[in-house]
Amino acid sequence: MSQTSKRKQRVLRILHKNRDQYISGQELSDRLEVSRTAVWKYIQSLREQGYVIDSSSRLGYCLVKAPDILSPEEIKKDLKTDLLGCEVIYQEEVKSTNSLAKSEARQEAEEGTVIVAKEQVGGKGRLGREYFCPPGGIWFSVILRPNMKPDSASQFSFVAVVALAKTIDELTDSVPEIKWPNDVLINGKKVSGILTEMSAEIDQIDYLVLGIGVNLNIAVDEFPSDLKNKATSIQEESGQQIPKLNFFLSLLEQLEEEYFKLQTEGFEKIIEGWKEYNITLGNEVTVTSNNEVLTGQAVDVDNKGRLLVELPNGTMKKVVAGDVTLNTEYN
C-alpha cells in the first residue's frame, strides 16, 4: 500500500473516531506530518468515494455519513474476528480476486488476508466457467494456511457454503438452499459462486485460496440473458436492498466460525450444518461429470464431500465433481 493510501486511511480513521465532531485541518496536518493542502486532497478523495464530510474554515472537517462500501477501513472498523480480515486488500476492479490472492500468498501473505473487489471482470466459478461479477455484488477471496493434507481441500467449499447460507438465513427473510456441492439457491435460482484453489506439497497444504462471490444487490435486468432463468440476487428475492458492509462483516465472522469448527470438530460437523440447508439428498438427480451422465437417487455425502448416488441397478456411485440437476429443477 502506498504512503498516500495509508495517510488517507489514517485521515478516515481519525474522522471515524471523532464522528459528528470537527477536527481542524491543522490537527490532521500535525498528526499525519503532511501539509494542510495534502490533507485537503485526502478529504477530496474520500468524498469521491462517497463519504459525506462537512468542512468549515473555522472548525475543520466532520464526517457526516460513510458510504456502504467494502474499503479496508470500513471493514476493519467493526469486524469481530480473530483471524479473517487481519489484512484487507481492496481494489476497485480486478480480473479475479483469487488470482490476486494467490499472488499475495506466494509472497507469504498472512493467513486470514482478505482480497476484496468492487467488480471482477474475469471471475471464474467451478469447472472454469465465467462468473458475472458487477459492482452490486460481493467478490472476495481469503488466504488460508490450514495444517491439513491436500485431499481435504474440497472440505473448504462446504465450509464456505454453510457460512453463506447461515448469513443469508440470519440477515434476510429469504430461505437459502444448498445444492451439492456449494451452490446457494433462493427460490430455485443461484445467488453465489465458490471456488477453492490451493498450492500444496505431497502431504501438506501450503496455502488455500477460498473465493466467494455473492449476488447481493443486483437488479434482475442487469443479468445476461443466458443467466436470467438460472441466477438471481438476494435483493431481488428479498424485495429490498441489503446493507453490503453489514452482510460482508457477518459473512466473514460466520466463515471464521465454520473454519475453526472444521479444525477443532472435524468435517462431520460441517456436513451437519450443510444438511440443514441441503436440497439434493433424498432426491432424484442427474449428474454430469467427466463427460458421463448419471441418473439416480442422491443418498448421502461422504467424509470427502463426495456425493453418493444410487443408480437404478443398485450400484452406488461416488461423484467427486460435476453438475447436479434435480428432477424438479428448471433448465
Which residues belong to the annotated binding site for biotin?
A: 96-98, 120, 190
Residue found by looking up cell 436440497 in the block? 279
> Residue 8 corresponds to which cell in the numbers above?
488517507
3-state SS, residue 104: helix
Q: How many CA atoms lie within 13 A of 152 on its CB side?
A: 20
Question: 3-class secondary structure for 52-69?
Answer: EEEEECCCEEEEEECCCC
> Residue 34 corresponds to which cell in the numbers above?
503532511
Per the annotation, binding residues are: 96-98, 120, 190
Q: State the DSSP string of 230-274.
A: TB--HHHHHTS---HHHHHHHHHHHHHHHHHHHHHH-HHHHHHHH
Distance separating alpha carbons of residues 55 and 42, to the nearest angstrom:
13
> Residue 147 corresponds to which cell in the numbers above?
495444517
Residue found by looking up cell 486532497 in the block? 41
